Structure 1
Amino acid sequence: MLVIGAGFSGLAMAIRSRQAGLDDLLVVEKAEAVGGTWHENTYPGAACDIPSHLYALSFAPKPDWSRTYAAQPEIAAYLRGLVARFDLDRHIALSTAVTGAVWDATRSLWRVETDRGPLEARVLVSGMGALHHPAIPAIPGLHSFLGPLFHTSAWDHGVPLKDKRVGVIGTGASAIQLVPAIAPEVGRLVLFQRTAPWVMPRHDRPIGAPLQALFHRLPAARRLLRAGQFWLREAQAASGFTRVSGLTRLAEAASRYHLRRQISDPALRAKLAPPYRFGCKRVLISDDYYPALARPNVTLETGRIRTVTPDGVIMADGRHHPLDVLVLATGFDPTASLARVPVVGRDGLILARAWGERVAAHRGVMVAGFPNFFMLLGPNTGLGHNSVVLMIEAQVEYVLACLAEMRARDLAAIEPTPEAQARDLAGLEARLSGSIWQQGGCASWYQDAAGRNIALWPGTVVAYRRAMRVPDWSDFVLTPT
């Protein structure tokens, strides 16, 4: 088995495979260390917006998380620690980028090209994740800027910000963490906002030594906390947070109260009022974002950018913001990871072309025409309400069930039928059509160019786990050895 990527997905696949007795596996990672997005995203303030104990593998708990919501360094350290904890070092090849993969039907295996030479594997698992390739905005003159210019995912720690004029483009999950972290240090900060996000309180706090000790001595207490965090989020999804409902209006009222409580200036408050329904875009959590925007050295710019110049940004009305540093907090392209790595399946079918009309996968994990190829956190398996680590674990177990069936039946290959994949997609589209993401009055990175949600699962984690528990073998083409 060859696994691409050593973030949460790839490491979970490796750990559970070894625990299932599958020792013939290799994880290839393009970076110089494991951790995936938590290795790469090191911008100031980077942290998780899911509670720490819920954002950990169920079979690899960490009793001593230091905060309710862990920051990037602690999550990255947790993932690095899994390598030694589960003896994975000999199964991981770092600084190895996959450049292409081709299914060899004659030999029933994948021929994989990397920048360190070719590899072969009976089974290919993509753990590359969706939040991997930065989305660079098509702003006129962007690359004419002569000062430091970088995306949050490629933060340049060598650039001093003290007393500098800094522009930040974007007001999503990265910006809401970055702006409060750098605002006290910079001379002036201009935040360029296209659409205001819905923001809820974070209620982050340290987890003291006594509670950490309790979780060490009494694992049941930690499991109880995690279960409470899980079921609270599941109840929100089951009660209507995935579609416009009475709960939507209650959540909007709570978010508006949070805004009123932290922003006293009516003009600034008006700029920060979202023009779409709660949940249509990713809901953000923060206790210090709004106060940072109220600082005298911070300007919220809501006008349209006309062009970037060598020394700043010119707005549509002609106003000029002189800048020393320009930061792109513009998120990621969720489909780019696999689209940029040519994956060629049966009869020369290229994955990017198979996805030409609509990105889709059977159960979000397998694609018709691509035998023995599995994806973790594939299309429509992200979450807007709970921890994606839970989805990863369900998918890993699904992959292992498929591999066990292959061994039991002495199969050379397994893949979903086109009919099964089409049925799966039809059911998914029916559920998505009335969702908050489609009916909430916004466009988001969840959607493709045609406005279809290709990123999120339109239900609870429990429902997804139930669907993934036992594969229906009638949905597959099973090729004997």
Structure 2
Amino acid sequence: MSVQEHAVLIVGAGFAGLGMAIRLRRDGIDDFAILERADAVGGTWRDNRYPGCACDVPSHLYSYSFEPNPRWTRAYAPWHEIRDYLEHCVRKYRLGPHLRFGAALREARWDATAGRWQVLTADGRRFSAPVLIAGLGGLSNPALPRIEGIERFAGLSVHSAAWPDGLDLTGRRVAVIGTGASAIQLVPQLAGRAAQVDLYQRTPAWVLPKGDRALHDWERRLFARWPFAQRIARGASYWLHEARAIPLVQRPRWLRVGEAEARRHLRRQIADPALRARLTPDDALGCKRVLLSNDYYPALARPDVELVSEAIREITPRGVVTADGHERAADVLVWCTGFRVQGRLPAGTLVGRDGLDLRDAWEQASEAYLGTTVAGFPNLFLLNGPNTGLGHTSVLLMIEAQLAYIGDALRTLRERGLRSVEVRREAQDAYNAELQRRLAGTAWASGCRSWYLDRNGRNTVIWPGFTFEFRRRTRRFDAGAYRLEPAAP
């Protein structure tokens, strides 16, 4: 099969990959391909479509800054509006001809002789480019817990991130496993529709009120006619949410104010003191992901919803057995058990200089420089890389900062006539040592066990600061941190 050659290859067609493609076009680079494993764009908003699925970041912050969306219908956008927004961006910026669907990455290997990445997809297509940009998509690989008997269940078993179209659970007995961000949106939609909902909780989460509401027609008309009004709304929302980083990063004691509000929210919505006790976390607010909902607690107070706090011992063909030996019958298992975030890699094998596999490079800890480049991997750029996650605002702010950094790196490659750029090991090590020092004094290091931490207790997910700090650090490509290889004469 012939090799398709391009100047740049992008892996993934979610917010990160599409944003990168738009940046390339704006910078005058039109010779690129976007490799997408699925048959449509959207990333997590293509895959997560369970009832009630919506963003937990305000709509005006959950769009590209250069492409505001005046058509949002709610303060927190539902999944299908976000998917539609991304499809709109594909049309507006004419990205369709660059998309290669069904192109799951099998292997990407740096060819030092040619100075190019040689890429093979699962369906046998071959691509080649001097630059490879990979979106890591932190919420793209569903996780299942290791529970005995999962494969023996005789009913329907679905993960919230792979919800079948048209699935109707009316009148059925549903077991929901997990009480994270997906479950608190899904359970209220099932309550009153399913015959019985059993919600299996390992540990409770802090839940705060969600400031959601329908946006009025006049607001949408205002934003469409006067875009500056939406920019003002976005700016106000940005600084309001940016301020929330202060207690998380600099003043963890201030989180007691938020914890008191979460306790009031729980008291207002749950009258039963025993149930309230089971829904009250032991860890400090902010140590794990803080959830937002107005209808989760009322759903748990219903007679047809049971909160099960005992650990799951096994799954049987008929249902779920807990540690106390009690078996609860179920027709459907719904896994709201999140994603494989730790150690996430671009799908397939990624091999850099001197045969270094990224899996081996990240065996002890997932590390990158500015969450974007990795020592030993020339001309490889990551989006949503290690320590670019946030606990207080929209991750799109981090993505856009990375887009600017990568765009400037590509400009440096062109203008200096370079063959490759590769971050120096000492620069990467110093940067990650600084990150871990800063993380040690934050709310995320207050003692709980969360998916932010790897098996060694190292936080490889969260950026320990304000987004404007990261944007400042990535505004220009800092060539001094890199090995610059000139092009062959």
TM-score category of the 2 structures, normalised to the smaller one: over 0.9
Structure 1 residue corresponding to 2:417, chosen from 410, 413, 416: 410
Task: Select 2:482's aligned residue among 466, 476, 480.
Answer: 476
Aligned-residue offset at 1:244: 5.7
Q: Supply the AA of the counterpart residue of 1:232.
A: L
* Residues 98-130 of structure 1, C-alpha deviations (whole Å, 9 max, x = no match): 111000000000000012311001100002411
Secondary structure in structure 2 of the residue aligned to 1:458: coil
Q: What corresponds to 1:294 in structure 2?
A: 301
Q: State the distance in 2 between where 1:48 and 1:344 align.
A: 35
Q: 1:210 aligned to 2:224?
A: no
Residue 135 (structure 1) shift = 1.1
Question: Which of the residues 177, 189, 196 maps onto 1:181?
Answer: 189
Distance in 2, matches of 1:377 and 1:159, equals 32
- Is 1:438 the equivalent of 2:413? no
Label 1:139 to 1:244 Cα distance change in 2 as closer, same or farther (>3 A): farther
The match for 1:228 among 236, 239, 242 is: 236
C-alpha deviations, 1:17-36, integer Å up to 9, x for none? 10110111111111111000
1:243 is displaced (CA, Å) by 5.5
Over 2 Å off, 4+ runs: 156-160, 241-246
Instruction: For 2:220 and 2:448, locate their aligned partners in 1 and report how far apart those are by CA, in whole Å.
Output: 41
CA shift in 2, pair 1:339/1:28, >3 Å: closer
Equivalent in the alignment of 1:448 = 454
Question: Is 1:191–2:199 an aligned residue pair?
Answer: yes
Counterpart selection for 2:468 from 457, 462, 473: 462
1:329 aligned partner:
336
What displacement does 1:158 show? 4.7
Question: 1:345-371: CA deviations, max 9, x gaps?
Answer: 000000000001110000000000000
* Match of residue 84 from structure 2: 77
- Counterpart Cα distance in 2 of 1:427 and 1:233: 24
Equivalent position amino acid for 2:183 in 1: A
CA deviations 1:275-321 (Å, max 9, x no partner) are: 10000110000000000101110000001111111001111111111
One-letter identity of the residue aligned with 1:6: A
Q: 1:336: how far off?
A: 5.5
Following superposition of structure 1 onto structure 2, how do residues 110-259 of structure 1 map, counting pairs within 5 Å?
A: 110-116=117-123, 117-237=125-245, 239-242=246-249, 245-259=252-266
**SS of alignment partner, residue 150 of structure 1:** strand
Query: How far off its partner does 1:337 sit?
Result: 4.5
Q: Secondary structure at the match of 1:202?
A: coil
Deviations 1:158-202 (A, max 9, x none): 543111110000000000101011112100000000010000000
Q: 1:102 aligns with which of 98, 101, 109?
A: 109
TM-superposed CA distance for 1:470, in Å, is 1.8
CA distance in 2 between partners of 1:361 and 1:418 (Å): 10
Equivalent pairs counted in the alignment come to 479
Q: Distance in 2 between matches of 1:143 and 1:25?
A: 42
Cα deviation per residue 1:218-252 (whole Å; 9 max; x = unaligned)? 11110011001100111121x22235633211000
Shift of 1:81: 1.0
In 1, Cα distance between equivalents of 2:253 and 2:38? 45
Work out whether residues 133 and 336 of structure 1, in 8 Å CA contact, stay in contact via their aligned partners in 2: no
Q: TM-score, normalised by structure 1?
A: 0.98
Structure 2: how far apart are the matches of 1:246 and 1:355? 34
1:242 is paired with a residue of what secondary structure? helix
Q: Is the 1:339–1:351 contact (alpha carbons within 8 Å) kept by the matching residues of 2?
A: no
Aligned to 1:332, what secondary structure does the other structure show?
coil
1:381 CA displacement:
0.2
Whichever residue aligns with residue 351 of structure 1, its letter is L
Opposite residue 205 of structure 1, the aligned amino acid is: R
Q: Decide which moves more: 136-145 or 282-291.
A: 136-145
Q: Name the counterpart of 2:366.
A: 359
Output the CA distance in 2 between the equivalents of 1:94 and 1:40. 15
Matched to 1:11, the amino acid is L
Q: CA deviation at 1:445?
A: 0.9
Deviation at 1:451, TM superposition (A): 1.1
Partner residue, 1:54: 61
Distance 1:474 1:26 in 2: 29
Distance, in Å, in 2 between the alignment partners of 1:244 and 1:312 is 45
Q: TM-score, normalised by structure 2?
A: 0.96
State the Cα RMSD in Å. 1.1
Partner SS for 1:62:
coil
